[in-house]
Structure 1
Amino acid sequence: MKDTWNAFIDSDLYVPPTGTGMLNNLSFALKDVFDVQGHISSAGNPDWLATHQPASEHADVVAALLKEGAALKGVTHTDELMYGLNGENAHYGTPVNPKSADRIPGGSSSGSAVAVAAGITDFAIGTDTGGSVRIPSSYCGIFGYRPSHGRISTNGLIPLAPSFDTVGVMARDGHTLQKVGAVLLNSTSRVSGFTRLYVPTDVMELVDEQSMRALAPSINHVMESFSTIEEIAIAPQGFSTYMETFRLLQGKEIWQTHGEWIQKENPMFGEDIGSRFQWASTLTLLNMNYIEEKRRELRYFMYSQLGEEGILILPTAPGPAPVKDAKGPELENRRLRTLQMTFIAGLSGLPQVTIPAGELDGLPVGLSFIAGYNQDEKLLNWVKENSGRIIQASVRSVS
C-alpha cells in the first residue's frame, strides 16, 4: 500500500478478518505498540525494535476486531514510547496532517489519526495516557474516544503509565466510533440520554479566544438541548496542583515501566523525549501519598458531579494544531495548557469523546464530552445520535 502521508511504519502488514460480525468490510490501522502475531512493535524507537522479539499472539483488542470482521491494514507511527503529544518522531519523521501539511498531526497516536483523516482506513486504534488519542483526533479533524480506565483490555499493549493507559478509537463519524467501541467494550447497550450539562468555566479560560469563537455555535447548540445546565470550576484553586499530580504520578510510573530497559540498552531518543525520561528517572524516591490523595480528590469531585446522568462539555485543546518544528516558550506554554485540559479525564479515569465541531482558518478544532465512570456506552451512543447536528450547527454558522 502506498503511504503518501507517512502514517505507517509498516504499510505492507495486512491481517485479514478471522470472523464476521459488526465490523464486516471495515479496515483499521493500529498504533505500533500493540502485539500482532509475528510482528515486532517498534514503539516509535529503533532500539526498542532491535531489542524485542516478534509477538506470539495478537493483543486482545486486535483479536476482538478481527473476530468481528475488520481487517488490519497496517501499523502506524507513534511518538517514542508514546511519551509525547506532538506526533513528531526524531527517527521516523512526522506523519502529514491531512488538514494542513505545515501543522503537526498531534501525538502520540499520530499515524493512526492521519490514517483515518486521510481516508486510508475506516477507523484506527491508538492509546491515550495523557491525551494521545484526543489531541491528534482534534488536530486532524476526526472523532476520538478515550474509554474509562480499565474498561478496554490492555493485554498485549506496550505500557507507558499503567494507571493512566487506555486503548482508544479514532473514526471519521460517530456511527463507526460507536460500533468499534461496542466491540471493544463487549457491550450492546443502547442507552444514550444525559439530563445534566456541566460547563467548566476555568477550563474554557485556557482556550484561545479565536478557537472559542469557532466552537461557540456548536457549544450553544448543545446547551440549547439541555434544560439543566451548571457552570462549575474543575480546579477552583488553580490547575497547578492537579497538573503537578498528573505529571508526577505519570512520570514515576513511566520510569518504573521503562527505566530498567533504558538503563540496560541506553537507547537513542530524540531530544525532547530523552529529556522527559531523564526527568522521570529523578522521581524514584518521591513520596506519593499526598499526590495520590489529590488524585482521589479530583476523582471524587468528578464522580459526584457527573454520576450517571451528567456530561461535561469542553474544547479538546487550546486551539488548532501548532505549526511543525515549533520551538521555544510559546510551544511549551501550549503543551502546558493542553495537558491542563487532558488531565481531567486522565487523572479521573473517565471516558471522553472529541468531535470535529469547528474550524479556524480551515484548521479543525475539537469539542469534547466527558461522562461519568463506566458510562462509555451511553456517551458513545449519545455522540452517535447528536454529533451530526452539533457539527451542522458549526457549518451553518460559517456558510
Structure 2
Amino acid sequence: MIADTVAAFSEILDTPLHSGAGALDGLTFAAKDNYELAGRVAGNGTPDWKTSHGPSTLTAPVVQTLLDAGASLAGFVHMDEIAYSIIGANHYYGTPVNSAAPDRVPGGSSSGSASAVAAGLVDFALGTDTGGSVRAPASFCGLYGLRPTHGRLSAQGILPLAIGFDVPGWFAADWSVFARVGAALGIEAGKGVAPTRLWAPATVWDSVAPSVREALAPMLSRLEALVGPAVTTPLPQPDLAGWYEAFRIIQAREVWEALGAWVESTSPTFGPGVGDRIEIARAITDLQVAQAKAVQASIRADMDALLGAGTVLVMPTSPGPAPLRAASQEDLGVFRAAIMQHTCIAGLNGYPELTVPGARVDGAPVGLSLIGSRGADQDLLALAGALSETL
C-alpha cells in the first residue's frame, strides 16, 4: 500500500484495482475524487457532498479505459471543494504538498492528482479541467498535463461543475509515460502532424514579468528550432480581462445549473472563496449570460481564423510560479484572476492545451503551454515529444 507522504490521497485502496492487460501494464495511477467508480461514493472535495450522495452506479469511461489497458488504480486523491478553485487549498482536507516547491500551493482543483505524481507516489493521475484545473497544477508542480479538446474524451462519470468547459485530463512527470497514457485514451503522439507555424502572442508574453519571459526563452528557442520563428501577432480582442469576465459569467451560470438544486436542498458549508463564488453563481442574470456568450462567440470566430491547422499557440501557462502556501486570501484572489486570464483562452474556445515543464522562476516551476485548434490534441503531443528529445 502507498505511504502518502504528501497528503494527496483521500482514499488509498487496500488492493489496487486492476482489470486488464495491455499497453499500460505496470503503471499505477490515481483519480481525482470527482471521478465515479461503481459502488463507491465520490467525495467531490467536500464532506457535505459525500454525506448527501449514495454510491455511484457506473465507472467513468476514462477510468475504465485505463484499467482495461492494464493500469492499476491506487486510489482517489484530494481536490478543491466541488472543483471550483484553481489554488489547491481545501478548507476541510488541507493542502497537498507541492514536492517541486514545498513552500507553495500545488494548484487546483486537481491538487491531489498533481501532488501524488510530483511526489512519485503514482506514475500518472487523472484530473479534470474546467477553468485551468489540470494546466495550473501541472505548471506549478513541473509536470506534463493536458486539457483535451472539449468533448474529445468522455466526461461521463465525472461529477459536473460547468459542462460547457469540463474535460478529463491527466498528469505525468515522465514524457514517455504521459504519451503512453495518451495513446491508451486514443490521443496518439505518433499520429500527430508536425506544426508549420508558431504563434507567441505579444498580448500574453508582454503581460508576464521579465523573469518569466527570460526563464522560458530557452524553451521557446527550442520550439523555434523545430518549427521556425514564432510570430508575435497579438490576440484578437486583446483585453484578456474581458475574455476572463465572459468565461467567469458563463462558467458561473453553468455551475449553478449543475449544483444549484443541491446547494439549495442541503445548504452545504464551503470554505473561503468557494462559498463566495457559489453566491455569485446564484446571482448571475440571463442578461449577463447572453452578453457573455456573445463575447465568447466573437472570440471563437476571431481565434478560429488565426489558429488554423498547422498553427500552435505557445505561451506561459501561468503568469508566474505557484502562490506561497502562506499567501492571504486577498493575494490568492488576485492571482486566481491573473492565471485565469491565461487559462480562459483555451477554455472559451474549446481548444486543447498541453502544459510542458518549462523553467523555474524564484526556485519554483512555471510551465509552457502549447495550444492547438480543436481536435489537434495529438499534434500537440507530437510536438511535445519532439521537444522532449531536445532537452
Q: Encode CA deviations 1:338-379: one digit per residue, 9 max, x unaligned.
A: 000000000110001111111124311111100111011121
Relative to 1, partners in 2 of residues 1:22 and 1:188: Cα closer, same or farther, differing over 3 Å? farther
1:207 aligns with 2:208: yes
Instruction: Please say if residues 87 and 332 of structure 2, whose CA atoms lie closer than 8 Å, have aligned partners that are also in contact.
Output: no
TM-score using structure 1 length: 0.94
Q: Distance in 2 between matches of 1:145 and 1:349?
A: 13
Per-residue Cα deviation, 1:192-212 (whole angstroms, up to 9, x for no partner): 300000011011123222122
Q: Deviations over 1:234-253 (max 9, x none)?
A: 24441232111100000010
Letter in 2 for 1:12: L
1:95 shift after superposition: 0.2
> Is 1:291 aligned to residue 289 of structure 2?
no
Superposed, which structure 2 residues align to 1:295-314 within 5 Å? 295-314=296-315
Residue 268 in structure 1 maps to residue 262 in structure 2: no
Amino acid at match of 1:198: W
Structure-to-structure mapping, 1:19-168, within 5 angstroms: 19-168=20-169
Aligned-partner residue type, residue 248 of structure 1 = I
Deviation at 1:3, TM superposition (A): 0.8
* Displacement after TM superposition at 1:102 (Å): 1.5
Task: Report if aligned partners of 1:14, 1:71 keep a CA contact under 8 Å in 2.
Answer: no
| Secondary structure of residue in 2 paired with 1:333 | helix
TM-score by length of 2: 0.96
Name whichever of 81-90 and 231-240 sits farther off. Answer: 231-240
Contact (CA 8 Å) 1:117, 1:172: kept in 2 or not? yes
The 3-state SS of whatever aligns with 1:213 is helix
Contact 1:141–1:365 under 8 Å retained in 2:
yes
- Over the aligned positions, Cα root-mean-square deviation in angstroms equals 1.6
User: 2:63 corresponds to which letter in structure 1?
Assistant: V
Map 1:370-389 → 2, pairs under 5 A: 370-389=371-390
Greater mean deviation of Cα atoms: 294-303 or 242-251: 294-303
Residue type of the alignment partner of 1:104? V
Any conservation in 2 of the 1:79–1:88 contact (CA below 8 Å)?
Answer: yes
Partner of 2:357: 356
Report how far residue 99 of structure 1 moved.
Answer: 1.4
> Any idea what SS the aligned residue of 1:182 has?
helix
1:34-87 Cα distance to aligned partner (Å, 9 max, x none): 111221111000000001111122111111000000000110000000000110
Partners of 1:382 and 1:30 in 2: CA distance: 26
What CA distance in whole angstroms lies between the structure 1 residues aligned with 2:326 and 2:174?
Answer: 30
Q: 1:110 to 1:188 in 2, by over 3 A?
A: closer
1:219 aligns with 2:220: yes
Q: Which residue of 2 aligns with 1:191?
A: 192
Match of 2:243 in 1: 242
Q: Is the 8 A contact 1:151 1:185 kept in 2?
A: no
5+ long unaligned stretches in structure 1: 393-399
Structure 2 Cα separation of the partners of residues 251 and 25 of structure 1:
40
Q: Distance in 2 between matches of 1:247 and 1:361?
A: 30
- Counterpart in 2 of 1:5? 6
Rounded Cα–Cα distance in structure 2 between residues aligned with 1:150 and 1:251? 20
Q: CA separation in 1, counterparts of 2:212 and 2:148?
A: 25
- What corresponds to 2:17 in structure 1? 16
Q: Report deviation, 1:385.
A: 2.4
Alignment-mate amino acid for residue 72 of structure 1: L
Per-residue deviation at 1:298? Answer: 1.6
Cα distance in 2 for partners of 1:301, 1:285 equals 25
- Identity score, percent: 40
C-alpha distance in structure 2 between counterparts of 1:206 and 1:11, whole Å: 42
Contact preservation (8 Å) 1:197, 1:230? yes
In 2, the alpha carbon distance for the partners of 1:328 and 1:381 equals: 39
Distance of 1:189 and 1:142 partners within structure 2:
21
- Checking the alignment, whether the CA contact within 8 Å between 1:187 and 1:377 is kept in structure 2 is yes
Higher deviation after alignment, 32-41 or 301-310: 301-310
Q: Quick one: structure 1 residues 163 and 13, their matched pair in 2 at CA, closer, same or farther if it must change by over 3 Å?
A: farther
The alpha-carbon deviation at position 329 of structure 1 amounts to 4.5
Shift of 1:189: 5.4
Q: Tell me which moved more, 225-234 or 256-265.
A: 225-234
Taking the aligned partners of 1:303 and 1:178, their CA distance within structure 2 comes to: 27
Q: Which has the larger displacement, 191-200 or 107-116?
A: 191-200
Contact kept? 1:353, 1:370, Cα under 8 Å: yes
Count of residues in Structure 1 that have an aligned counterpart in Structure 2 = 390
More divergent stretch after superposition (371-380 vs 182-191):
182-191
Q: Which amino acid aligns with 2:193?
A: S
Query: Partner of 1:333 in structure 2?
Result: 334
Superposed CA deviations along residues 133-165 of structure 1, whole A, max 9, x for unmatched, are: 000011011110000000000110100000000
Secondary structure of the structure 2 residue equivalent to 1:170: strand
Question: Is this contact kept in 2: 1:191–1:377, CA < 8 A?
Answer: yes
